[in-house]
């Protein structure tokens, strides 16, 4: 493993900033020296960071027989996020088939130790040429359509997609946002960044994963640390960028940002899209089942409708599913994002 640069170490610290200081320092030590004795600290720290509040605990004294699902309450999507973080931190690759054999903390430690021992050096691939898209080309590819399309041009280069949107002033939502003072809503800016990420998933993910991803099979899963800094008004050109952090079917994790005249407009530290026909089929199936239960009075409060849509993707796990984007809109604007307007 080549010694990391200062920039790589800073990126590592940023990626693990929600983990404990001990986890971060152990990760830096491993990347710098290759000391395998700190692996349990790294892995346990990453797992602890993803535990739900009701299951939050220190794993330092947990036994090797502690079960990930039954004892720690880790669901299928959370497990994938944990795996993605571990892969990025210690630079290994874990296949989905291998995950099915990992059920306890002891098996996690043993697996990673074996994986590092036999991992071969990866061959660096040549950089891909940039792909450019004008608005008609974007319309042909994205499920979002006017008047709910907020990309006028885009460029994909490697793991990064860059896009622009010209705020014309005749957008339907500006009539009431705000009276006599049209301002681009923060939620729409976040939506535009999500649309750029969606374009990357549709154009590049199928090549990297060697699988088909249809335009109506991309769903908004989650977003963390979304911030809005200034106002965009008619006549402004918003420039957006989304960079892939991790990719493993059915999840793509991005870091996104938007600028206005070179100044920071918005950023999203952690944007997750879910994709693939399995996600959509399981979601539709479970939602239909939930509707049937509700109609017959079997559902107690309706809160669980579609709550197990991803169960069959990773058998034996509990479930946390992305919000459905509907048949044609992806990823959708989360109404809660409108509260971000108050950050201006």
Please report which confidence band the pLDDT of residue 302 belongs to, taking 50, 70 and 90 as the band edges. very low
Q: End-to-end distance of the chain based on CA atoms, in angstroms?
A: 44
Question: Before 250, cis peptide (omega within 30)?
Answer: yes
Q: Are strands 251-260 and 160-166 parallel, antiparallel or unpaired?
A: unpaired
Q: How far apart are CA 255 and CA 243, in angstroms?
A: 5
pLDDT at residue 191 above 60? yes
Residue with tokens 């997750």: 272
pLDDT at residue 301 above 80? no
Q: Rounded to 5 degrees, what are φ and ψ at 6?
A: -60, -40
Of 132, 120, 55, residue with least CA distance to 91: 120
pLDDT at residue 126 above 90? no
Overall average pLDDT of the 90-102 stretch? 78
pLDDT at residue 190 above 90? yes
Burial grade of 95 (CB within 10 A; 0-12, 13-18, 19 or more): exposed
Q: What is the pLDDT of residue 313?
A: 41
Please report which confidence band the pLDDT of residue 56 belongs to, taking 50, 70 and 90 as the band edges. confident
pLDDT at residue 298 above 50? no
Overall average pLDDT of the 41-51 stretch? 93
Q: Which residues are catalytic?
A: 177
pLDDT for 225-276, tens place per residue?
Answer: 999 999 999 999 999 999 999 999 899 999 999 999 999 999 999 999 999 8
Overall average pLDDT of the 186-201 stretch? 97
Which 3 state secondary structure label does DSSP give 241?
Answer: strand
Q: Name the range with the highest mean pLDDT among 15-19, 289-293, 310-314.
A: 15-19
Residue with tokens 């088939």: 97
Say which DSSP state 25 is in: H
Q: What is the pLDDT of residue 306?
A: 34
Overall average pLDDT of the 68-93 stretch? 88
Please report which confidence band the pLDDT of residue 315 belongs to, taking 50, 70 and 90 as the band edges. very low
Q: How far apart are CA 131 and CA 302, in angstroms?
A: 45
pLDDT for 161-174, tens place per residue?
Answer: 999 999 999 999 99
Report yes or no: 226 and 340 within 8 Å, Cβ to Cβ.
Answer: yes
Report yes or no: 75 and 99 within 8 Å, Cβ to Cβ.
Answer: no
Strand (E) or helix (H) holding 238? strand 237-248
Give the pair of three-digit tokens for residue 47: 């797992």
**What is the average pLDDT score of the chain?**
80
Strand (E) or helix (H) holding 268? strand 263-275
pLDDT for 318-329, tens place per residue?
Answer: 333 343 333 333
Q: How far apart are CA 80 and CA 162, in angstroms?
A: 26
Burial grade of 137 (CB within 10 A; 0-12, 13-18, 19 or more): middle
Q: What is the pLDDT of residue 295?
A: 52
Domains of the chain, CATH where assigned: 6-118 (1.10.1200.10), 131-279+322-343 (3.10.129.10)
Report yes or no: 112 and 185 within 8 Å, Cβ to Cβ.
Answer: no
Between 213 and 61, the more confident residue is: 213
Contacts by residues 93-98 (CB-CB < 8 Å, ≥ 24 positions apart): 93/119, 96/248, 96/249, 96/314
Q: What is the pLDDT of residue 58?
A: 85
Of 206, 215, 204, 200, residue with least CA distance to 162: 200
Q: Rounded to 5 degrees, what are φ and ψ at 81?
A: -65, -40
């Amino acid at each position: 493993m080549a010694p990391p640069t200062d920039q790589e170490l800073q990126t590592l610290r940023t990626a693990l900033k929600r983990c404990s200081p001990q986890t971060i320092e152990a990760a830096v030590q491993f990347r710098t020296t290759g000391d395998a004795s700190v692996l349990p600290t790294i892995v346990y720290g990453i797992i602890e960071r993803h535990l739900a509040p009701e299951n939050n605990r220190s794993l330092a004294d947990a036994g090797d027989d502690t079960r990930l699902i039954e004892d720690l309450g880790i669901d299928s999507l959370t497990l994938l996020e944990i795996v993605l973080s571990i892969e990025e931190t210690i630079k290994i690759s874990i296949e989905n088939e291998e995950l099915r054999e990992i059920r306890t903390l002891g098996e996690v430690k043993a697996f990673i130790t074996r994986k590092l021992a036999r991992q071969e050096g990866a061959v660096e691939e040549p950089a891909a040429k940039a792909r450019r898209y004008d608005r008609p080309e974007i319309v042909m590819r994205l499920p979002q359509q006017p008047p709910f399309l907020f990309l006028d041009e885009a460029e994909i280069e490697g793991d990064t997609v860059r896009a622009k949107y010209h705020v014309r002033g005749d957008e339907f939502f500006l009539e009431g946002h705000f009276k006599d003072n049209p301002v681009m809503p923060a939620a729409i800016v976040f939506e535009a960044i999500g649309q750029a990420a969606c374009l990357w998933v549709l154009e590049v993910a199928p090549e990297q994963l060697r699988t088909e991803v249809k335009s109506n099979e991309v769903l908004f899963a989650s977003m963390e640390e979304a911030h809005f800094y200034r106002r965009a008004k008619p006549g402004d050109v918003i420039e957006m960028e989304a960079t892939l952090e991790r990719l493993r079917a059915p999840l793509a994790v991005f870091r996104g940002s938007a600028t206005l005249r070179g100044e920071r407009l918005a950023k999203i530290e952690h944007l997750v899209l879910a994709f693939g026909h399995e996600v959509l089929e399981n979601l539709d199936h479970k939602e239909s089942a939930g509707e049937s239960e509700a109609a017959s009075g079997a559902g107690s409060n309706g809160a669980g409708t579609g709550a197990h849509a991803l169960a069959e993707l990773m058998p034996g796990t509990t479930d946390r599913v992305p919000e459905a984007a509907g048949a044609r809109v992806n990823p959708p604007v989360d109404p809660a994002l409108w509260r971000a307007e108050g950050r201006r």
